[in-house]
Amino acid sequence: MKRSDLTDKILDIKREKGWTWKYINEEIGGMSPTLVTGALLGQMKLVKPLAAKAAKLFGLSEAEERMLNEVPYRGTQMPPTDPLIYRFYEMVMVNGPAWKALIEEEFGDGIMSAIDFDFDFERQPNPKGDRVKISMSGKFLPYKYYGNEQGIQEYGFKEE
């Protein structure tokens, strides 16, 4: 069985049972709903206790449970073809240079982690159509200046 086959099986069971992602996340718990959902969709791994809970919930075999605990091959084709996912890609393509400039001006030479990262969203009612409010928070990771000498700082933190 390939990981994509397990994802299809999980989605089939979800559909047959009429479960929502909210229900599934409440039953499994233990991590962010984004991470649990991502794991069930094949993009993240579940730690062993959560893989066991997911396996019990979905009636999976021991081998399938172990597969949920494996580090997956992450990512999708680029650019993404799904319209909602493509809009995130578009936001980064259009706004990315400005975000980069503003973050570097505030923090220095580095990146925002996508590993030490939090994501949340909420629905905001609006008479012109409900809005999606997204919140992302990632740890700032400064670049290390290898071979630095003569008083050159070791990391790319903002210079005062």
Contact yes or no for 1/10 (Cβ under 8 A): no
Q: What is the 3-state composition of the chain as percent helix, strand, coil, each rounded to the nearest 5?
A: 45, 20, 35
* C-alpha span between 2 and 23 (Å, rounded): 26
End-to-end CA distance of the chain: 55
**Active-site position among 26, 70, 90, 154:** 90
**Active-site position among 113, 131, 137, 154:** 113
* C-alpha span between 24 and 42 (Å, rounded): 15
Give the Cβ contact number of residue 142 at 10 Å.
16
Look up 131 and say whether it is catalytic.
Answer: no
Give the ranges where 18-82 is alpha helix by DSSP (H): 21-28, 33-40, 48-58, 62-68
Chain CA centroid to CA 13, Å = 23
Look up 135 and say whether it is catalytic.
Answer: no
Look up 90 and say whether it is catalytic.
Answer: yes
**Residue numbers annotated as active site:** 87, 90, 113
